[in-house]
Structure 1
């Protein structure tokens, strides 16, 4: 099953009524972005501390 079919199936499951051609247009315009978001969502960020510029930047200046 290709990307257009997967998107159409997801849209039908969400009860969204789009013309068939619109699914292909969405994939052409945003397909790479959607794929990149899937890769970002798969990252394991459990051991990463949040970046806080207010505390980190002054410490970096002192180095």
Structure 2
């Protein structure tokens, strides 16, 4: 898979959510941030989805 050209309108990879001074990341079992999809922001709520396989282990990092 190649990277999108710099002038491309392709969506940026989002691996961190930020809301009201809080940041959240999902890390796979190797500690690598997982990509979020379908992000929706409403006032004080952020909703996002992540692709994972059944039984996949991950951790949540909140700052």
**TM-score normalised by the chain length of structure 2:** 0.20
The structure with the largest helix share of the pair is 1
Higher strand share: 2
| TM score, norm. by length of structure 1 | 0.20
Structure number with greater Rg is 1
Q: Which has the higher contact order (CA 8 A, sep 6+)?
A: 2
